[in-house]
């Protein structure tokens, strides 16, 4: 407490504001609970050296002259029909794997600055971000905005900034990534809502998403947004009588109170689905919460559980985006994308963006689209289809599709491709497993000139969706061939050298003595 008071006095001149929020959402249809943590820091430049903004992030932004960076880790795929809409969290969900988005000031030494940022962030978060080279990094296409690539909601298009985007679908989220993220909180995991985050228990859940957004403005303001979304199972013995301790920790916790972080101006827990109100707010600055208290008995689950289990999926599945690999074999194939608008009365504006590595040689002239089984209807709905072909062992393929989807409409489009033969050194470990392709990004916007009900519908579904990552088999060489060649060559060399040594070094008299030593011959 004394340390917190000292920091408050130092930070008073820096005009720093720190808030922390936790949203708890019951998911009765799948017997899970969703927890969304949101931490925010807003401050101006400080002359006395005290700051809530992590110094390591400040140095990265200043060293590489970056306006902002957005780093996400995710395990699992967010689905509205399972977890509800993510729009209420004021942040988009994240694709499977790792994603980094950076807004750089100026276009000088872009590759060098990108490599510096990925190397430093990779060292901080113990992640293989250095694998985000020029073969997976893309910028904005002509006429695009950062939100089409799933950027942080507050990111704005600026002609003076260069927006770069890179993804690694194979990168896993583990406790080594979560620990440095927790250390960037002003109170870390010692007090406040950060004390509820147990790295070991968090990675064992059904879904886990971790994000970090850092931004500096030209007027000297610094912004930090840290979000963590997890889906956990409540107490299996009696799920209507579970506590914060049984939800967020793997082992039983003592009767400890969770109080607000001393540096927080706001520390609240929002609980959805209560009997008294749709959302009940608990202010930790006024009263701490015990880990062992069963304070969620007011949920209106017991009376409505049967009805919610039958209607939950139908109410939440408003839009969807899926991507598939077509064809068979290791030489040729294709990619198909299915985009659905299941709303009964509202039309949607759709933007789909995809990044495909260079070793999948896309035949863009084979583009074919259908809507309700009709190609003519699809041509009427599609407004734009742009693409940028890949370079050999360089930039990836990019494609962007804009269309209008009426109510209850499904749009399917496909492209053919050829799989390239890679060098032996270009194959990843366990190459026979296949190559991971990062998720595509679909953005849905409700038509603004629609009815009043359609204008309000956008808050009830996630507007930015990520497709499934693809696992594509490529032609692979016989990795045992070098071993076979080495074995055969060593055998031939040993036989030849042994024969030559015997012929050159073995003495003839000794051979004659050996031949005449037997009197019977």
**Tens digits of per-residue pLDDT, 85-142?**
888 776 668 999 999 999 999 989 999 999 999 999 999 999 999 999 999 999 999 8
Instruction: Give strand pairing partners of 518.
Output: none
Q: Point out the least confidently predicted range of 305-314, 347-356, 361-370, 394-403.
A: 305-314
Which whole number is the average pLDDT over 195-211? 92
Closest CA to 440 of 343, 362, 334, 335: 335
Residue 305 Cα distances to 25, 242, 292, 310, 311, angstroms: 14, 17, 24, 9, 10
The pLDDT score that the predictor gives to residue 418 is 96
Give the C-alpha separation, 358 to 419, whole Å: 9
**CB-based contacts of 304: which residues, under 8 Å, 6+ apart?**
28
CB 71 within 8 A of CB 204: no
Q: Does the pLDDT of residue 251 top 60, yes or no?
A: yes
Does 495 or 514 have the greater pLDDT score?
A: 495
The pLDDT score that the predictor gives to residue 302 is 44
The pLDDT score that the predictor gives to residue 510 is 62
The pLDDT score that the predictor gives to residue 234 is 78
Q: What are phi and psi of 502, to 5 degrees?
A: -65, -40
Does 116 or 428 have the greater pLDDT score?
A: 116
Nearest 10 degrees: CA dihedral of 475, 480, 482, 488? -140
CB 201 within 8 A of CB 234: no
**CB-based contacts of 314: which residues, under 8 Å, 6+ apart?**
none
The pLDDT score that the predictor gives to residue 337 is 98
Does 406 or 13 have the greater pLDDT score?
A: 406
Q: Does the pLDDT of residue 2 top 50, yes or no?
A: no
Q: For the chain, where do the domains classified as CATH 2.60.40.1170 start and end?
A: 318-472
pTM of the model: 0.87
- Which residue in the block uniquely carries the two structure tokens 């406040």? 192
DSSP-H helix ranges across 243-299: 244-248
Closest CA to 353 of 386, 381, 375: 386
Residue 404 Cα distances to 120, 329, 339, 383, angstroms: 42, 35, 11, 7
Q: What are phi and psi of 378, to 5 degrees?
A: -65, -40
Closest CA to 281 of 85, 24, 510, 2: 24
Query: What percent of the chain is modeled with pLDDT above 90?
Result: 54
Helix (H, G, I), strand (E, B) or coil at 175: helix
Closest CA to 63 of 125, 101, 132, 112: 112
The pLDDT score that the predictor gives to residue 316 is 54
Tell me the pLDDT of the chain averaged across its residues. Answer: 85
Does 452 or 198 have the greater pLDDT score?
A: 198
Which pair of structure tokens corresponds to residue 223? 């912004």
**Rg for the chain, CA atoms, rounded:** 29
Give the C-alpha separation, 6 to 359, whole Å: 57
287-308 burial, b if ≥16 CB within 10 A, otherwise e?
A: eebbbeeebbeebebeeeeeeb
Beta strand 409-419 with 397-405 is unpaired
Top-level class of domain 318-472? mainly beta
Give the C-alpha separation, 134 to 122, whole Å: 16
Summarize pLDDT for 306-349 with one digit per residue, the tens: 445 444 444 557 899 999 999 988 889 999 999 999 988 889 99
Residue 387 Cα distances to 352, 354, 390, 399, angstroms: 12, 9, 10, 4
Summarize pLDDT for 252-280 with one digit per residue, the tens: 666 788 999 999 999 999 988 765 557 78
Give the C-alpha separation, 483 to 480, whole Å: 5
Q: Does the pLDDT of residue 446 top 60, yes or no?
A: yes
CB 420 within 8 A of CB 359: yes
Instruction: Give strand pairing partners of 74.
Output: 97, 209
Transcribe 343-362 into DSSP letters.
-SS--EEEEEEEEE-TTEEE
């Amino acid at each position: 407490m004394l340390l917190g008071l000292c920091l408050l006095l130092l930070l008073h001149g820096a005009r720093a504001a720190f808030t922390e929020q936790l949203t708890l959402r019951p998911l009765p249809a799948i017997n899970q609970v969703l927890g969304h943590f949101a931490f925010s820091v807003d401050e101006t430049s400080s002359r006395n050296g005290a700051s809530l903004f992590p110094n390591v992030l400040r140095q990265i932004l200043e060293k590489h002259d970056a306006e902002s960076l957005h780093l996400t880790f995710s395990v699992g795929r967010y689905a509205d029909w399972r977890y509800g809409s993510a729009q209420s969290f004021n942040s988009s969900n994240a694709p499977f794997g790792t994603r980094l988005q950076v807004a750089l000031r100026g276009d000088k030494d872009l590759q060098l600055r990108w490599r510096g940022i990925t190397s430093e962030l990779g060292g901080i978060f113990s992640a293989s971000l250095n694998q985000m080279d020029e073969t997976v990094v893309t910028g904005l296409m002509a006429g695009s905005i950062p939100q089409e690539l799933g950027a942080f909601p507050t990111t704005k298009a600026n002609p003076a900034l260069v927006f770069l985007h890179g993804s690694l679908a194979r990168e896993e989220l583990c406790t080594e990534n979560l620990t440095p993220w927790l250390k960037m909180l002003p109170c870390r995991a010692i007090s406040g809502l950060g004390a509820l985050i147990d790295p070991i228990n968090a990675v064992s859940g059904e879904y886990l998403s971790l994000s970090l957004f850092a931004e500096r403005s030209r007027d000297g303001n610094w912004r930090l947004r840290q979000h963590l979304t997890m889906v956990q199972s409540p107490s299996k013995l009696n799920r209507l009588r579970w506590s914060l301790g049984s939800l967020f920790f793997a082992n039983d916790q003592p009767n400890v109170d969770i109080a607000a972080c001393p540096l927080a101006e706001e520390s609240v827990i929002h609980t959805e689905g209560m009997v008294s109100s749709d959302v009940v707010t608990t202010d930790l600055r006024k009263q701490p919460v015990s880990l062992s208290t069963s304070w969620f008995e007011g949920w209106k689950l017991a009376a409505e559980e049967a009805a919610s289990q039958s209607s939950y999926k139908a109410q939440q599945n408003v839009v969807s985006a899926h991507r598939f690999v077509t064809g068979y074999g290791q030489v040729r194939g294709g990619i198909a994308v299915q985009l659905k608008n299941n709303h009964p009365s509202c039309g949607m504006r759709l933007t789909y963006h995809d990044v495909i590595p260079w070793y999948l040689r896309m035949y863009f002239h084979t583009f074919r689209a259908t809507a309700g089984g009709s190609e003519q209807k699809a041509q009427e709905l599609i407004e734009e289809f742009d693409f940028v072909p890949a370079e050999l062992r360089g930039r990836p393929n990019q494609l962007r599709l804009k269309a209008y989807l009426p109510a209850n409409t499904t749009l399917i489009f496909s492209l053919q491709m050829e799989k390239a033969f890679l060098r032996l050194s270009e194959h990843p470990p366990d190459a026979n497993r296949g190559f991971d392709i990062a998720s595509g990004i679909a953005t849905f916007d409700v038509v603004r000139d629609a009815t009043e009900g359609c204008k309000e519908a956008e808050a009830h579904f996630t507007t930015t969706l990520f497709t499934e990552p693809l696992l594509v088999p490529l032609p692979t060489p016989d990795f045992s061939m070098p071993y076979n060649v080495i074995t055969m060559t060593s055998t031939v060399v040993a036989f030849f050298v042994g024969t030559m040594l015997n012929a050159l070094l073995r003495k003839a008299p000794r051979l004659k003595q050996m031949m005449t030593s037997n009197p019977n011959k």
